């Protein structure tokens, strides 16, 4: 009698297999006859391959990428090398669909010489799990590719122990081996540029105090090769203690070295340009032609006591300060360039200073942006004081 209401053990076992959606698999190695539970196969739309040459016929339904492993494991059973069998593979259903299956079994009878004679086991459909695994691996692969392309690497920081764990990509980015990195006390902080530490500490304090949703900071790290590399870390807490304090922070490090070096080079270039402009006493300006707004990038107008006429309506106000004898010529040359008939605009003319005197200047500019119809949008240029040159002959 069985343990539940008089059900016989065999019937009870069949109910268990049915509840687990598993099919019983039997194989007589001596006769090469076998079968897989017909009811289970019918549910899965599979051919049970009952009778002779069972393993060969069953194997013919297996996906080409999986069949070599299946046959190798079957050979291991036949030759007595293995007492247990387990394999995961895809089977072609009667509807010509691939179905993932787990097949597991063991030798239950041997000959007098110890050769395996009978194997029994189960088959289980694992299609959803394998498809989820495949999707997960695909997502991981896409993420890894995206991180590689963005030159980003994972890391995590356990705050109570101050232990940081970096991904292989992080070590590749900094050119350290794990042994090299851990071979120095306090490996992370000891390799950061000293002047960058206050900014990092301020960002961590702000995040721990709940003043910001994301932990973010930039710093220079000394790589294994000895050079400094700019990194940007972005992270968030993923675990907290009972008091609500973060205990585990996970984030990424982004390689921003090229960007930071470009910014440094640009600032250096701008500084050299400003110094050159200052030394040459040149005024730099830009005009939004459509809005008729001009902006000056230095104090050239103030230096020569001129009204910069910044803001809207620049052209009319600037012309109002020009000498009446010079307005027509300068305006004509500007109009020719704006219309695209001249490569650039230049003109020499007199401008009235704030104190009421006339000063000769030289203006030169060029349109650097036009719309789809060829109309000018932005005009940039320079102004130079030429008063001494133009006044000189008259003074002699």
**Structure letter (DSSP) for residue 186:** S
Has residue 276 been placed in a domain? no
pLDDT in the model for residue 20: 44
Q: Beta strands 228-240 and 215-222: pairing type?
A: antiparallel
pLDDT at residue 220 is higher than 90: yes
Please, what is the average pLDDT of the chain? 85
Has residue 142 been placed in a domain? no
- What CATH number is attached to the domain comprising 307? 3.30.450.20
Has residue 375 been placed in a domain? yes
pLDDT in the model for residue 28: 92
What is the average per-residue pLDDT within 373-378?
A: 92
179 and 91 share one domain: no
pLDDT category of residue 258 using cuts at 50, 70 and 90: confident
Tell which residue, 375, 376, 350, 352, has the closest CA to residue 363. 350
pLDDT category of residue 10 using cuts at 50, 70 and 90: very low
Structural domain that includes position 20 = 9-131
217 and 124 share one domain: no
Domain edge (last residue) among 101, 131, 161: 131
pLDDT in the model for residue 142: 58
| Main-chain dihedrals φ then ψ at residue 48, nearest 5 degrees | -70, -15
pLDDT at residue 262 is higher than 70: yes
pLDDT category of residue 13 using cuts at 50, 70 and 90: very low
| Main-chain dihedrals φ then ψ at residue 290, nearest 5 degrees | -65, -40
358 and 307 share one domain: yes
Three-state secondary-structure class, residue 321? coil
pLDDT at residue 339 is higher than 90: yes
**More confident: 378 or 1:** 378
pLDDT in the model for residue 159: 87
95 and 172 share one domain: no
100 and 162 share one domain: no
70 and 184 share one domain: no
296 and 368 share one domain: yes
pTM of the entire structure? 0.42
Whether residue 162 contacts residue 249, with contact meaning beta carbons closer than 8 Å, is answered with: no
- Domains in the chain: how many in total? 3
What is the average per-residue pLDDT within 295-299?
A: 86
What is the average per-residue pLDDT within 367-380?
A: 91
What is the average per-residue pLDDT within 222-237?
A: 91
Whether residue 278 contacts residue 284, with contact meaning beta carbons closer than 8 Å, is answered with: no
**More confident: 146 or 114:** 114
What whole-number distance in Å separates Cα of residue 100 and Cα of residue 72?
18
Domain edge (last residue) among 97, 131, 165: 131
73 and 162 share one domain: no
Has residue 38 been placed in a domain? yes
pLDDT at residue 7 is higher than 80: no
Has residue 145 been placed in a domain? no
- Name the least confident of 71-80, 263-272, 304-313, 334-343: 263-272
How far, in Å, are 48, 53, 79, 250, 268 from residue 117 at the CA level? 20, 15, 11, 55, 83
Domain edge (last residue) among 131, 158, 179: 131
- Name the least confident of 12-16, 37-41, 367-371: 12-16
What whole-number distance in Å separates Cα of residue 64 and Cα of residue 155?
39
55 and 90 share one domain: yes
pLDDT category of residue 15 using cuts at 50, 70 and 90: very low
Has residue 270 been placed in a domain? no
pLDDT in the model for residue 1: 40
**Structure letter (DSSP) for residue 299:** S
83 and 53 share one domain: yes
Has residue 172 been placed in a domain? yes
Has residue 359 been placed in a domain? yes
Cβ-count burial 313-336 (b if 16+ within 10 Å, e if not): ebeebbbebbeeebeeebeebbee
pLDDT in the model for residue 137: 65
60 and 19 share one domain: yes
- Name the least confident of 110-124, 200-214, 254-268: 254-268
40 and 118 share one domain: yes
**More confident: 21 or 297:** 297
pLDDT in the model for residue 147: 52
Question: 117 has which bridge partners?
Answer: none
């Amino acid at each position: 009698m069985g343990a539940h209401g008089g059900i016989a053990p065999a019937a009870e076992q069949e109910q268990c297999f049915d509840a687990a959606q598993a099919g019983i698999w039997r194989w007589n190695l001596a006769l090469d006859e076998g079968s897989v539970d017909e009811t289970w196969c019918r549910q899965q739309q599979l051919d049970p391959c009952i009778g002779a040459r069972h393993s060969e016929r069953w194997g013919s339904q297996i996906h080409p990428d999986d069949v070599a492993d299946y046959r190798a494991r079957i050979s291991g059973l036949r030759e007595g090398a293995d007492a247990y069998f387990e394999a995961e593979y895809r089977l072609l259903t009667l509807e010509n669909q691939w179905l993932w299956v787990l097949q597991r079994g063991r030798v239950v009878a041997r000959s007098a010489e110890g050769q395996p004679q009978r194997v029994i086991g189960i088959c289980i459909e694992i299609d959803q799990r394998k498809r989820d695994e495949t999707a997960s691996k695909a997502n991981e692969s896409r993420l890894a590719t995206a991180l590689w392309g963005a030159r980003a690497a994972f890391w995590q920081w356990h705050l109570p122990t101050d232990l940081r764990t970096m991904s292989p990509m992080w070590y590749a980015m900094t050119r350290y081996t794990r042994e090299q990195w851990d071979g120095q006390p306090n490996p992370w902080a000891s390799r950061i540029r000293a002047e960058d530490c206050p900014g990092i500490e301020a960002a961590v304090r702000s995040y721990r105090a709940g003043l910001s949703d994301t932990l973010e900071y930039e710093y220079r790290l000394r790589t294994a090769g000895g050079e400094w590399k700019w990194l940007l870390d972005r992270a968030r807490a993923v675990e907290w203690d009972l008091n609500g304090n973060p205990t585990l922070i996970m984030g990424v490090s982004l390689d921003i070295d090229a960007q930071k070096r470009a910014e440094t080079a640009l600032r250096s270039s701008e500084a050299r340009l400003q110094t050159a402009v200052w030394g040459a006493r040149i005024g730099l300006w830009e005009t939004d032609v459509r809005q008729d707004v001009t902006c000056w990038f230095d104090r050239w107008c103030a230096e020569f006591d001129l009204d910069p006429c910044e803001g809207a309506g620049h052209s009319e106000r600037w012309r109002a300060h020009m000498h009446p004898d010079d307005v027509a010529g300068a305006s004509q040359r500007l109009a020719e360039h704006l219309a695209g008939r001249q490569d650039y605009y230049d003109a020499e003319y007199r401008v009235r200073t704030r104190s009421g005197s006339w000063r000769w200047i030289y203006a030169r500019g060029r349109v650097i942006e036009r719309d789809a119809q060829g109309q000018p949008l932005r005009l940039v240029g320079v102004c130079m004081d030429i008063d001494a040159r133009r006044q000189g002959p008259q003074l002699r």
